């Protein structure tokens, strides 16, 4: 929208007239209504469900219909997975398309069904489609809020019904706006309401709706080996012909919970998609502020490059417009699926080399590193923590740096500053943190790169160190060691670059350790932006 939402809110009456159900809700068990005349080309819930079944039956090698949860009224929320070897979870970049989060925005469901059909019907004959299906795992959730959609067409007329159909305690007002109910910076701000009667009601708490929970749980299930497999997503809404990137919760272009690189990539990809469909590209909050949206959750929690598309130029476009409105997005969605293999590659070959190799972690979200994985660490204080380090300074200079090299988070030996520089530094021995398994490719020229800082005071010695090892099964090989000595060493960021040739085609882990080997001196280590680059 929200021109649509804007129109509904624009009266100054918060669209209250629209909140009154015009007809009583049909019980879920009653015969499902079809769309009103002129709109019967849209899929009802039953027709959508039957289409997914037909596709899964006709293309069993590349399509699967999967239940991801149930709506408040008990309708199954369906997903379709499309990929070669569809029964196997292969290490391929994943993409998510969803529609129907708002009950009255039926074009989004049509859009997702079109995407499904472009893929399955073109597979094996259209080489671009075949390549996408073979190299990606595509998830499609056509109707996130099936109760809202069914109610919207109940009685053979439209009801402008946006929310789900969940009752609210203490009021006769029905429904929560599912696109205000996700648990990232949930609550308040912009066009988000705490009033159960409002069309943008956020719900009593984050994830109070079964519909948002179903999407949340589905996304959580796509974390494999510590890493969210879904790289890019579009959530389809209506209307206004917009392509919007995160965030909606703030008008700041690059807030603390977005990296500069991600911002550049989000804008470049959004702008590129908009150039192909003729929509306007903008940050979500340029339209109006929101909180608890699908898109903010997907980027904020998982760093999925997630976009909201507002389809169409009006509410309830008649069914003759389905083909053209969905068709104009074909290039954008094909491009998104192709780009999912290396989103930041849009920024040029330096990014493709640095950010799309066998491993890339900016530590902005948890990606499965484990502190003291072997249980043999000896440190008594200052164990590794992922987060935003607080600066510490002695008379001799900075010991723990104030900031990291990307975004706001890295790994540090004790994030907090405490009451003195010695309060939260490393003490008593060694702390280690170990990466998830990394599958190196067979190519020569892969490099391990990371940014690091190691500081100590003049009581240090060579038993104090910052060490990086490659773990191959039980064998640990040190590839980088920086030792302490009896001098004051201040925090400073350095780049390490290590040839990984001997581990090509191997599955490894990385272990980063820091040791305070003696005395009560100050030892502080920090690292960020660990990558295995791919060759030029």
Residues in the chain: 536
Q: Which of 202, 308, 453, 513 binds ligand NO5 (CB under 6 A)?
A: 308
Active-site residue, 469 included: no
Residue 80: CB minimum distance to Zn ion, A:
21
In the bound complex, what is the minimum distance in angstroms from residue 7's beta carbon to ligand NO5?
A: 9
> Which member of 2, 49, 291, 534 binds ligand NO5 (CB under 6 A)?
2
Q: Longest C-alpha distance within the chain, in Å?
A: 84
Q: Does 406 bind Ca ion (CB under 5 A)?
A: yes
Angle at CA of residue 229, ends 224 and 235, nearest 5°: 135
Q: How many CB atoms lie within 10 A of CB 333?
A: 26
Of 85 and 171, CB closest to Ca ion: 85
Q: Which of 43, 81, 102, 511 binds Zn ion (CB under 5 A)?
A: 102
b (16+ CB within 10 A) / e for 229-255: bbbbbbbbbbbbbbbbbbbbbbeeebe
x-marked contacts with ligand NO5 along 206-245 as a string, rule CB under 6 A: -------------------------------xx-------
Return d(Cα 135, Cα 93) in angstroms, integer.
7
Supply 242's token pair: 């917009």
Does residue 164 belong to the site contacting ligand NO5 (CB under 6 A)? no
Binder of residue 290, out of Zn ion, Ca ion, ligand NO5, none (CB less than 5 to 8 A by kind): ligand NO5
Q: How far is the CB of 318 from ligand NO5 (least distance, A)?
A: 19
399 binds Zn ion (CB under 5 A): no
Helix H segments across 348-478? 349-355
Concatenate the DSSP letters of all residues of 237-269 into one string: EESS-EEEES-SS-S-SS-TTS-HHHHHHHHHH
Q: Which is nearer to Ca ion, 401 or 410 (CB)?
A: 410
Q: Which stretch binds ligand NO5 (CB under 6 A): 2-10, 122-130, 408-416, 457-465?
A: 2-10
Residues in region 262-291 near ligand NO5 by CB under 6 A = 284, 287, 290
CA distance from start to end of the chain: 43
In three-state secondary structure terms, 393 is strand
Tokens of 106: 């039926």
| Catalytic annotation, pick one of 92, 137, 211, 310 | 310
Q: Rounded to the nearest whole angstrom, what is the least distance from the CB of residue 300 to Ca ion in the complex?
A: 15
Find out whether 116 and 82 touch, Cβ atoms under 8 Å: yes
433 belongs to the binding site for ligand NO5 (CB under 6 A)? no
- The pairing of strands 93-98 and 230-238 is parallel
Which residues in the 343-362 window bind Ca ion by CB under 5 A? 362
Catalytic residues, by residue number, are 310
Residue numbers at the binding site for ligand NO5 (CB under 6 A): 1-2, 4-5, 102, 105, 179, 237-238, 248, 284, 287, 290, 293, 308, 310
């Amino acid at each position: 929208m929200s021109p649509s939402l804007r129109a509904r809110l624009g009266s100054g009456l918060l669209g209250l007239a629209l909140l009154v159900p015009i007809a009583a809700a049909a019980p879920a068990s009653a015969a499902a209504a079809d769309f009103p005349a002129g709109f019967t080309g849209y899929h009802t819930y039953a027709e959508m469900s039957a289409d997914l079944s037909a596709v899964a039956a006709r293309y069993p090698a590349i399509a699967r219909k999967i239940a991801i949860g149930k709506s408040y009224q008990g309708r199954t929320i369906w997903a379709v997975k499309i990929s070669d070897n569809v029964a196997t979870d292969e290490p391929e970049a994943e993409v998510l398309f969803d529609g129907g989060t708002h009950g009255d925005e039926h074009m989004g469901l049509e859009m997702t069904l079109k995407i499904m059909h472009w893929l399955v019907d073109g597979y094996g004959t259209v080489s671009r489609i075949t390549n996408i299906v073979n190299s990606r795992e595509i998830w499609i959730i056509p109707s996130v809020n099936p109760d809202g959609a069914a109610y919207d067409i109940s009685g053979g007329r439209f009801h402008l019904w946006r929310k789900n159909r969940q009752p609210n305690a203490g009021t006769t007002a029905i429904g929560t706006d599912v696109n205000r109910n996700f648990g990232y910076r949930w609550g308040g701000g912009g066009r988000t309401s705490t009033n159960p009667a409002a069309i943008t009601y956020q719900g009593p708490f984050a994830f109070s709706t079964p519909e948002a929970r179903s999407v949340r749980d589905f996304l959580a299930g796509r974390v494999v080996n510590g890493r969210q497999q879904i790289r890019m997503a579009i959530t389809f809404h209506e209307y206004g012909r917009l392509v919007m990137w995160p965030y909606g919760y703030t008008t700041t272009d690059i807030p603390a919970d977005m990296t500069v690189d991600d911002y550049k990539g989000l804008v470049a990809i959004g702008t590129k998609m908009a150039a192909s469909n003729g929509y306007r590209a903008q940050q979500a909050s340029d339209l109006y502020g929101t909180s608890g949206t699908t898109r903010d959750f997907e980027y904020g929690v998982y760093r999925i490059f997630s976009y909201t598309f507002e389809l169409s130029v009006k509410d309830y476009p008649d069914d003759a417009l389905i083909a053209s409105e969905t068709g104009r997005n074909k290039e954008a969605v094909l491009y998104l699926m192709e780009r999912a293999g290396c989103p930041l590659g849009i920024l040029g070959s330096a990014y493709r080399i640095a950010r799309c190799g066998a491993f890339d972690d900016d530590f902005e979200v948890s990606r499965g590193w484990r502190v003291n994985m072997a249980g043999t660490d000896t440190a008594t204080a200052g164990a590794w923590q992922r987060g935003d380090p607080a600066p510490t300074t002695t008379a001799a200079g900075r010991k723990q740096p104030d900031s990291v090299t990307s975004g706001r988070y890295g790994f540090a030996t004790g994030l907090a500053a405490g009451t003195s520089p010695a309060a939260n530094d490393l003490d008593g021995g060694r702390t280690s943190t170990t990466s998830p398994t990394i599958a190196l490719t067979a190519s020569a020229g892969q490099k391990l790169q990371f940014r690091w800082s190691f500081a100590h005071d003049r009581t240090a010695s060579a038993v104090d160190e910052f060490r990086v090892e490659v773990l191959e099964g039980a064998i640990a090989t040190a590839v980088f060691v920086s030792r302490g000595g009896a001098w004051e060493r201040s925090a400073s960021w350095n780049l390490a670059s290590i040839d990984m040739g001997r581990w090509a085609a191997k599955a490894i882990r990385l272990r980063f350790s820091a040791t305070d080997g003696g005395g009560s001196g100050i030892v502080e280590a920090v690292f960020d932006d660990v990558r295995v680059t791919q060759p030029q």
